[in-house]
Amino acid sequence: MSYRIEVKPRAEKALARIPNPYRKRIVIAIDGLAQTPRPAGCAKLTGSEDGWRIRVGDYRVVYQIADKVLVVYVVRVSHRKDAYRGM
């Protein structure tokens, strides 16, 4: 069973600003969420019912999982120092 990945515009803009070697690793990690939305090392976000995050080097990918419709929404991609500000 494969999930569909939807990247929010804010996350897409942030991803475009990340330097290329890191961006490739992040895109690979996001693509992997389609097969395994809760990979080893992921963490559930406190205070959120369906919020999760994965670490990719110094960057964090914050996403939500909609199990009923098999969709993973990528909400935010940012450096670890800024990843949780304003959430």
Q: What is the pLDDT of residues 28-75, one digit of tens each?
A: 999 999 999 999 999 999 988 889 999 999 999 999 999 999 999 999
Instruction: Using pLDDT thresholds of 50, 70 and 90, give the confidence band for residue 87.
Output: low
Pairing of strands 59-66, 51-56: antiparallel
Residue from 34, 77, 68, 32 nearest 49 by CA: 68
Tell me the C-alpha distance between 23 and 67, whole Å: 27
Give me the residue spans of the domains in the chain: 4-79
Section 9-36 average pLDDT: 95
For residue 7, pLDDT over 80 is answered with yes
Instruction: Using pLDDT thresholds of 50, 70 and 90, give the confidence band for residue 76.
Output: very high
Whether domain 4-79 has CATH 3.30.2310.20: yes
pTM for this predicted structure: 0.91
So what's the pLDDT on residue 49?
Answer: 85
